[in-house]
């Protein structure tokens, strides 16, 4: 993986991602403290609502942002959104009421909904080789996992010398440094788009996504991953502090087990994907994630222990990372370069819709029905996603499929690009184009 850093553009963008993630982690800690200062015992409700706002903004605004991004140079778009996020975060230390928190969180996440898919869609253009891109996806997963471990520790260290509101200034600095790193490199220009209306540009990514078999399969697997991760992220503290009667240190240890499983998977996944098809790998890891929830439910009935929860969450982390890390490979294969940002935005929208379903279900189910019931319910949702994904993503290789174009004239651009008769490039049928995207399911 380290050879990727010989590419100056990728090196700067990866650094920008890591710095922005650390800043976001600091903001998460600072926001919790600010919510407690303003709302007291209602801080949990405030943070829960802020999380819902985050998910709703991701689900609704990412396609709109992708349509707008087509009209702005790629580097300018990323820098502008980084600076908007920095400006919004600088306002958070001065909030004095709950509605102000909600408003600034919405603006912050709206900018992130535009930034993240555009950033993700840029990496395949920088690393056109699929093996390099696969390793970049693993590095990205490692960055996310390390952020979840490093940010709380960094926040705790900073809080020994500065006040909580100062963490927001650290976040703003992170976004500003991210913008500077993006400015420092020349990004490949996005492919020119044919003239389209705003509605067509806004929905194009979703229409391509939902008409591509492998991406419909990815949506089912995203639901399975959301079911697993929502149980971990929402209910770990309740399980450790309430069910097991342990302290905050054990909460961090259990969450660390999930992160360790995820990071370990990210390290060995590129070698595994070199040997096996993405479909088999992703579905196997999704099954492991669902099995970890089932095992936790059975163990809960028998008497869950800390060591048991550590093992189950470690396996859940392996399943979660192995399910979602290869997603970028599917998106890259399933779109022409000019449509790549729209398809990445569609995945961003639909995957967060899965979390928008599972997060509140995990919290409410734990509160009203108990640990064992919600573990079984989320495991069943994960299994449904796995089965739906397996059905939507037909078994087969990415080898070219012989086919004909009796309806196209000889001078059609598609025939000129693939002159063999019968044509043998990979095929997916889609009504946006007779054979779009030009890859096998």
| Per-residue model confidence as pLDDT tens digits over 396-425 | 644 444 445 554 555 555 555 555 555 555
Q: What is the pLDDT of residues 270-286, one digit of tens each?
A: 889 888 888 999 999 99
Beta-carbon contacts of residue 87 (< 8 Å; ≥ 6 apart) = 172
Rounded alpha-carbon distances, angstroms, from residue 138 to 13, 14, 114, 272, 426: 15, 12, 22, 12, 26
Q: Which two tokens stand for residue 26?
A: 């600091």
Q: What is the pLDDT of residue 428?
A: 46
Q: What is the pLDDT of residues 152-205, one digit of tens each?
A: 666 667 777 777 777 788 888 888 998 999 898 887 766 555 556 666 777 888
How sure is the predictor about 44, in pLDDT bands with cuts at 50, 70 and 90?
Answer: low
Rounded alpha-carbon distances, angstroms, from residue 122 to 117, 202, 325: 9, 19, 17
Give residue for tokens 């790549």: 340
Alpha helices in 92-159 (DSSP H): 98-126, 130-159
Strand partners, 433: 430
Helix or strand or coil: residue 430? strand
How sure is the predictor about 287, in pLDDT bands with cuts at 50, 70 and 90?
Answer: very high
The rounded distance, in Å, linking the Cα atoms of 106 and 117 is 17
Q: What is the mean pLDDT of residues 355-376?
A: 87
If one compares 106 and 44, the residue with the highest pLDDT of the two is 106
Of 270, 267, 254, 16, whose CA–CA distance to 149 is shortest? 254
Q: What is the pLDDT of residues 67-84, one digit of tens each?
A: 777 777 878 888 998 899
Burial 199-221 (b: 16+ CB within 10 A, else e): eebbbbbbbbbebbbbbbbbbbb
Domains and CATH numbers, the chain: 1-190 (1.20.1250.20), 204-395 (1.20.1250.20), 398-441 (no CATH)
Q: What is the pLDDT of residue 314?
A: 94
């Amino acid at each position: 993986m380290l050879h990727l850093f010989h590419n100056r553009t990728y090196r700067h963008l990866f650094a920008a991602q890591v710095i922005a993630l650390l800043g976001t982690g600091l903001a998460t800690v600072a926001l919790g403290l600010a919510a407690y200062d303003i709302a007291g015992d209602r801080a949990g409700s405030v943070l829960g609502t802020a999380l819902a706002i985050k998910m709703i903004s991701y689900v609704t605004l990412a396609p709109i942002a992708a349509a707008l991004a087509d009209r702005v140079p790629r580097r300018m778009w990323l820098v502008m959104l980084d600076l908007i996020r920095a400006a919004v975060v600088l306002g958070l230390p001065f909030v004095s009421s709950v509605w102000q928190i909600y408003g600034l969180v919405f603006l912050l996440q709206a900018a992130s909904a535009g930034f993240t898919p555009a950033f993700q869609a840029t990496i395949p253009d920088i690393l056109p080789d699929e093996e390099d891109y696969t390793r970049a996806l693993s590095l990205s997963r490692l960055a996310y996992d390390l952020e979840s471990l490093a940010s709380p520790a960094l926040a705790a260290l900073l809080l020994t010398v500065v006040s909580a509101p100062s963490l927001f200034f650290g976040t703003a600095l992170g976004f500003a440094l991210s913008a500077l790193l993006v400015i420092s490199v020349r990004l490949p220009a996005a492919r020119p788009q044919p003239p389209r209306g705003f509605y067509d540009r806004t929905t194009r990514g979703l229409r391509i996504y939902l008409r591509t078999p492998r991406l419909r399969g990815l949506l089912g697997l995203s639901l399975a991953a959301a079911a697993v991760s929502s149980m971990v992220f929402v209910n770990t503290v309740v399980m450790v502090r309430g069910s097991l009667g342990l302290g905050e240190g054990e909460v961090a240890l259990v969450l660390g087990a999930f992160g360790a499983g995820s990071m370990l998977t990210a390290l060995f996944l590129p070698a595994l994907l070199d040997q096996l098809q993405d479909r088999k790998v992703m579905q196997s890891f999704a099954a492991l994630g669902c099995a970890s929830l089932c095992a936790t439910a059975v163990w809960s009935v028998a008497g869950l222990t800390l060591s048991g929860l550590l093992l189950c969450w470690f396996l859940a982390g392996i399943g979660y990372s192995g399910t979602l890390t290869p997603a970028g490979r599917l998106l890259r294969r399933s779109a022409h370069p000019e449509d790549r940002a729209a398809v990445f935005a569609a995945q961003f929208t639909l995957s967060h819709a899965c979390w928008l379903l599972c997060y509140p279900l995990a919290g409410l189910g734990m509160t009203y029905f108990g640990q064992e019931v919600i573990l079984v319910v989320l495991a069943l949702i994960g299994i449904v996603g796995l089965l739906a994904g397996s059905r939507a993503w037909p078994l087969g290789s990415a080898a070219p499929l012989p086919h004909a174009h009796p309806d196209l004239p000889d001078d059609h651009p598609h025939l000129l690009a693939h002159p063999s008769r019968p044509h043998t490039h990979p095929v997916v049928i889609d009504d946006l184009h007779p054979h779009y995207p030009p890859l096998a399911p």
